[in-house]
Copies of this chain bind each other. A is one copy, B any other.
């Protein structure tokens, strides 16, 4: 994956999980973070179907410094997996050397090696009293592990996009996710 400061920056991301986990919103927040605060181009593709009711769904993003010609990812740099069904369907969709992050609350065994398991939904429930912030914790982890988006950009985008009365809890969830991501990235290094 290219360095975030590189002018030739180009990165493909897949957020996969179950309908209702808020990954489409997570995608919008990530897209707005890099487009509004880092002047990058983003194309986001979301599929809706029976999965909108709960089956495996995915949202894909291409983030680029330059114009994006072809809208479909061809070589995923980062894959986030939030459910066991998504692990079965998309767990092995990343490129060789890409980063695989998974919610170990639901994904018990590695869809492939290497992987980075995090207890995302378990943390949401235990520390925030609701699974609803799992998507924001996941975004934080993605930021902490990969550095593809700046923390400040993500904070602005979260604050601007979640319902006002949930802003505080979501910003706390984001901070927790960033912390979790950085810890593991450092432990790994």
A42 CA to B41 CA, complexed, in Å: 23
Q: Which one, A10-18, A29-37, A128-136, A146-154, is touching chain B?
A: A29-37
A43 and B46 form a contact (CB under 8 A):
yes
CB distance from A45 to the nearest CB of B (A): 5
Q: How many identical chains are in the complex?
A: 2
**A48-56, A80-88, A169-177: which lies at the interface:** A48-56
Instruction: Tell me, rounded to whole Å, the shortest Cβ–Cβ distance linking A119 to chain B.
Output: 29
CB pair B41–A49 under 8 Å, yes or no, is yes
The residue of chain B having its C-beta at the shortest distance from the C-beta of A42 within the complex is B48
Report whether B48 and A45 are in contact in the complex, using a CB–CB cutoff of 8 Å.
Answer: no
Chain A interface helix/strand/loop/mixed:
mixed
Are B71 and A48 within 8 A (Cβ)? no
Q: In this assembly, does A28 line the interface, its C-beta being within 8 Å of a C-beta of chain B?
A: yes
- Tell me whether A46 and B72 are in contact in the complex, defined as CB-CB below 8 angstroms, given that A36-B53, A53-B36, A163-B163 are known contacts: no
- In this complex, how many residues of chain A approach chain B with their Cβ under 8 Å: the count is 25
Residue interface bits A85-120, CB-to-B below 8 A is 1, else 0: 000000000000000000000000000000000000
Question: Is A21 among interface residues, defined by CB-CB distance under 8 A?
Answer: no
Whether the Cβ atoms of A46 and B31 lie closer than 8 Å is yes
Cβ of A24 < 8 Å from any Cβ of B? Answer: yes
Query: Is A8 interfacial (CB 8 A cutoff)?
Result: no
Chain B residues lying within 8 Å of A35, measured Cβ to Cβ, are 48-50, 52
| 8 CB < 8 A contacts A-B | A31-B46, A35-B52, A36-B48, A39-B50, A40-B49, A43-B46, A44-B45, A46-B46
**5 tightest Cβ-Cβ pairs between the two chains A and B:** A35-B48, A42-B48, A41-B49, A31-B48, A35-B52
| Residues in chain A within 8 A of chain B (CB atoms) | 24, 28, 31-32, 34-36, 39-50, 52-53, 68, 71-72, 163
